[in-house]
Structure 1
Amino acid sequence: MTTQPPVPPAPGQPGAGAVPTCYRHPDRETYVRCQRCERSICPDCMRDAAVGHQCVECVQQGNKTVRQAKAVFGGRAVTVPRVTWTLLALNVLAYLAEIADQQAVITGFAMHSAAVGLLGEWWRLLTGAFLHAPPGGGLGFTHILFNMWALYAIGPELERRLGHLRFAVLYLLSALGGSVAVYLLGIAAVGASGAIYGLFGALFVVSKRLGYDPRGVVWLIAINVALTFFIGLSWQAHLGGLVVGAATAAAFAYAPEKNRDVVQWAAAAGIFIVLMLAVLVLPPFAAIAG
């Protein structure tokens, strides 16, 4: 009677005398198993878990079911305020462009009611909010320094509360609101003050919504409004930015939980449409007075 020699177990499979090997690397011996699927894993395939280790595939599968952290009022949670840093960089780059060729930049991109209304140069409504008083002017470097300090001081906090995209929309709508107010009630202006005042208004709304004491924000707004008239700055841009920023923040902060994203973006789109219609339909006050 003849007998067949025993067949050795396949690598990685249980059996008498079998040496366990990694399921992804059969040539590597290991005595560690994944805590979820219990397959053998080598050090290259181990991922730390709450208890023991998991394999790469189980970790990837688990990540698909993990709920993404969100900002307080929607959007993904913010760890680095990238929009704030980007806006700071854009303002500084625009100022450097002014230093390089002040005449061309101011002439072609500053907010001016006649250029927008008569020539249809709509880009000025936004580009003017990234320019500042040129060096050697009445305000000199203090104009951009104050605005960028304010953006640096309160921008990151609002961005963390609102999320990247909502904060960017808040800033741009506030800037646009300031320019529209200049178009309707003034003549010309440069500066990010409309957007900054929009952030002031948003900070007040967010503080109220979260139950914080808003008196510090009220004092901040009051002091800056007083400086606006004392120094002789563009009160139109400040007022327009403040109102639009507060309205946009209210739409974001007070949107109901149900269909919150839809309500927020519909409100933001509505504010944008109202601003555009104001420029299209309403004549500038200077033209009426003239």
Structure 2
Amino acid sequence: MVENLYKDYLLVEKNYSLDTVKSYLNDIESFKNFLMNEGLAKDLLDARRERLARNFISYLDNQNFSKKTIARKISGLKHFYQFLVDRNLIDVNIFLTVKTPKIPKKLPHTIDDDAINYLFNSIQKDKPLGFRNYLILDLLYSCGLRASEIVGLEIGDIYLSSGQILVHGKGSKDRYVPIHDKLAETLKHYLSYTRVSLLAKGDDTFQKKLLINYKGTPLTERGLRVILNDIIKQSGETYKIHPHMLRHAFATTLLNHGADLRVVQELLGHTHLKSTQVYTHVSSEVLKEKYKNTHPRMINNEKNK
């Protein structure tokens, strides 16, 4: 089956995560079912007419799929059929000329500095789980980590002497992210005391993963979300929080305080600058202040007053 060939390609050659591969394969299966249920083709290789791709998009639209979902499916299927063309399994990429629907640009929901500080202050650090939760919040907010990146951290990825951590990003792209002194001290205490007491609750005291759950086993992405929800609940706030919101807050805070866009790109682990540009919604006050202090006409006017 061509699906299995494509799966191996994504896992081995592209180094995509299992979740990403599963998403690609689900979209392919969805198109395959459409073709066979409608009697338009006997299999994926038999789909050789471009109108079949357009018919599928119309079908998705009628099923009330969002524009974002449809755009993602088009992108995935375009990539799949190009894979088939490159390997001479089919003559034409039927999705190549399909237009992707325009998606309204939405600014990422973020949390301001005051709200972040309130969350930090609401965590009780006198108990192991509370101290670990404080560390988690600081790693997410101060390093801009994805959920998969923070749960994937190992002890060997922490370099306290040089003040940085090694982050294993998407597509096996590693990057070093600096840590501030306070976070370094928190990590040092966690590694020396807190993590040891958490590991004692499990069977594997030689576990390499940095973050340990209440059972003494490695923290999962699901467990991470539960922890963030508990932090919100204990703080008395009512809004929902997820790891990516803290990643947004990390990027926005840096830009609002004058960081270069390309520096933020490197810290976030973005391959393309375009992905980082969504964070350039700097507050009007910051923009006005920068304009006032850098534009020559403004500077001269201030001197002449």
User: Could you tell me the TM-score, scaled by structure 2's length?
Assistant: 0.23
User: Could you tell me the TM-score, scaled by structure 1's length?
Assistant: 0.24
* Bigger Rg, which one: 1
